[in-house]
Structure 1
């Protein structure tokens, strides 16, 4: 079956962005080992995401070559072989949507796990993060349910003849996906900002941190472009094209902050673990060496302390700042000396 020019371009984009997404995530895992760090939950989420990209990259070419039942009506006469191929392509399209939805939410989980590490010792932030996990579970459940409810009965999703109707365009599913995708991305962007703004640091360093965790704005822009209100947004070629772009951007947003923390090897700490970077003190406040790590009280709120790994720590009173603060160790160092 000959491919049209648009399908050929889409097939190329699916392959290119699939390879780039996989390479970025594999690079994260490699860097984790290069830095002698054990895999954490976010890394296992990343492994699941890699498998998801591979699965989608394998299924999408079949859908593009064989087609599915989302075609202009009335459809021209089709042979039994073409009907069979379009039926298979339609089933793979449905499977692709489930894989794609899981992939996006797994990448959101990767971001939330990183934020959980950075804000690990801030009680208020941890309570918010717990709520976020509930929201992520509920929203992915809603997206997956709507994936299967546009057409009733379900077999209409892969029925080629007779005409299954307009339900195969899955407008409800796409609107639900876009709306909840935008909402959850915005939540993840906003979560760390109040604490980043309260850190007493140069505006350049604050901007670096906020920009690093604002990359999700690109995902929001892509999600808006995919709305059904745009011409051809529900066409299979457009869905696969923008879906491939969104998969790469999601991988970029989820993994670049961690890769940024892994980019430089620091000296061995006193406890034998590796420390990745430190920062200079500001406004006459000096960091002191504690258990192989630097700690300083250079946030506007005297109860918030910032370690050399940009791990925000909470101290219930300024009198306790002379003691060893209670905090979890973290390798996520986001700011280094100029």
Structure 2
């Protein structure tokens, strides 16, 4: 029985080798593990002849089985070489989404930077002091510019193309640049949330909001430190973060994908906490329905960040199981920069609204607020009125 199996395997192997030669593929370029995978998998899983490439290529389940065999039986470099030859034999089209790799970050960063400039202009026009929240948001904006540079560099190394269509050494460069981009991402999001929480401390006089804001600032600062450190030292030695892929790295790496899932889950939780914190007092404002709707809508836009975070979390499933790193890593990367940029825009909205309210008052015309709270009476002290006026951009300079 064993002899028959061996003979069948050798016959299939010879058939594949002959077919490869007839197809113009240099047999010396095909790793032996790849030839064995094709011969054995086709013989065991399909009724196709090993030399009938159109039949083999048309069977999606069979090609997926072949890819699994390449990944498990071959070294990473041999697996990519075999995959390249197999894709060429099947006439698979070369995919290229490199335009999105640099265009999406460019648009996002232009928009977020524009909103931040408008926020600073609002401070000048309304003669308001710059504060620590503005500094935190400014640093977050500054961290997006290296990401844009990384995006352009990644295009040069082939990000957006299938991994078997780029030089294999480019994979190391792609992973190295992703390592840097991930550090900027991990630092930027908590800083944006800290900026928003500093705004809450300026605007809302309620004690529970102030204490909660301080607590959430501490949580976000801890999140920043913990995950930046975890990202930098995800492998030991550090260079393993971008050299592990080909199996030559001798060291230790954390479960990078588990780390990504944990970080994404914490981000979503912190986003929800920060977004929902001011909604109860805002819902009790005794102002016109138009004004209340405008304010509630502005603050509720933060849920859009959560939606992006959840979609990004879904892409991490592909990210975790992919060997096609130069193509499958594009989507989670684009969601990351979009999440960071939208967070910055939302952090700027109150100041931008105040600026627009000053230069285009008719657009925001509505009945003057009577109270900050729901008791229907004018505020009992001037402090509450001033804090609410800051939200509207109508506070007078000190």
Same fold? TM cut 0.5: yes
User: Is 1:211 matched with 2:285?
Assistant: no
Shift, 1:221, TM fit: 0.7
- Supply the distance in 2 between the matched residues of 1:278 and 1:207 (Cα, whole angstroms): 13
| Partners of 1:171 and 1:228 within 8 A in 2 | no
Change (3 A) 1:300 1:264: closer
Change (3 A) 1:298 1:50: closer
| Partners of 1:205 and 1:335 within 8 A in 2 | no
Larger mean Cα displacement after TM superposition, 212-221 or 148-157: 148-157
Q: Indicate which of 189, 197, 201 corresponds to 1:112.
A: 197
- Tell me which residue corresponds to 1:98: 183
- Supply the distance in 2 between the matched residues of 1:229 and 1:66 (Cα, whole angstroms): 22
CA deviations on 1:262-304 (whole Å, 9 max, x unpaired) are 22339xxxxxxxxxx997457xxxxxxxxxxxxx5462248x9
- Tell me which residue corresponds to 1:272: none
Shift, 1:67, TM fit: 5.2
Q: Indicate which of 373, 388, 397 corresponds to 1:299.
A: 373
Change (3 A) 1:325 1:54: same
Change (3 A) 1:145 1:239: same
| Partners of 1:146 and 1:176 within 8 A in 2 | no
Shift, 1:15, TM fit: 1.7
- Supply the distance in 1 between the matched residues of 2:221 and 2:330 (Cα, whole angstroms): 29
| Partners of 2:308 and 2:335 within 8 A in 1 | yes
Change (3 A) 1:298 1:66: closer
Q: Indicate which of 345, 349, 362 corresponds to 1:252.
A: 345
- Supply the distance in 1 between the matched residues of 2:372 and 2:247 (Cα, whole angstroms): 69
Shift, 1:27, TM fit: 2.2
Shift, 1:195, TM fit: 0.9
| Partners of 1:175 and 1:227 within 8 A in 2 | yes
- Supply the distance in 1 between the matched residues of 2:146 and 2:105 (Cα, whole angstroms): 12
C-alpha RMSD of the superposition: 3.5
Number of residue pairs matched?
285
Structure 2 residue runs of 5 or longer lacking an equivalent are 1-93, 321-327
| Partners of 1:14 and 1:240 within 8 A in 2 | no
| Partners of 1:42 and 1:114 within 8 A in 2 | yes
| Partners of 2:285 and 2:371 within 8 A in 1 | no
Shift, 1:186, TM fit: 0.5
| Partners of 2:122 and 2:352 within 8 A in 1 | yes
- Tell me which residue corresponds to 1:137: 221
- Supply the distance in 2 between the matched residues of 1:77 and 1:135 (Cα, whole angstroms): 42
- Tell me which residue corresponds to 1:242: 335
Change (3 A) 1:168 1:4: farther
Partner secondary structure for residue 223 of structure 1: helix
- Tell me which residue corresponds to 2:323: none
| Partners of 1:150 and 1:172 within 8 A in 2 | no
Shift, 1:45, TM fit: 2.0
- Tell me which residue corresponds to 2:275: 189
Q: Indicate which of 143, 155, 174 corresponds to 1:52.
A: 143
TM-score (norm 2): 0.62
- Tell me which residue corresponds to 2:98: 7
CA deviations on 1:59-112 (whole Å, 9 max, x unpaired) are 2221332258xx86xx7995xxx62x5434322221111111111111111211
- Supply the distance in 1 between the matched residues of 2:352 and 2:229 (Cα, whole angstroms): 34
Change (3 A) 1:240 1:77: closer
| Partners of 1:63 and 1:90 within 8 A in 2 | no
| Partners of 1:157 and 1:168 within 8 A in 2 | no
CA deviations on 1:158-204 (whole Å, 9 max, x unpaired) are 11543569969931232123211111110111111121122223444
| Partners of 1:279 and 1:335 within 8 A in 2 | no
- Tell me which residue corresponds to 2:29: none
| Partners of 2:122 and 2:354 within 8 A in 1 | no
Larger Rg over CA atoms: 2
Superposition map of 1:1-338 within 5 A: 5-66=96-157, 83=169, 85-119=170-204, 121-148=205-232, 150-159=234-243, 161-162=246-247, 170-228=256-314, 232-233=318-319, 235-265=328-358, 280=367, 296-297=370-371, 299-301=373-375, 321=380, 325-326=382-383, 329-330=386-387, 332-334=390-392
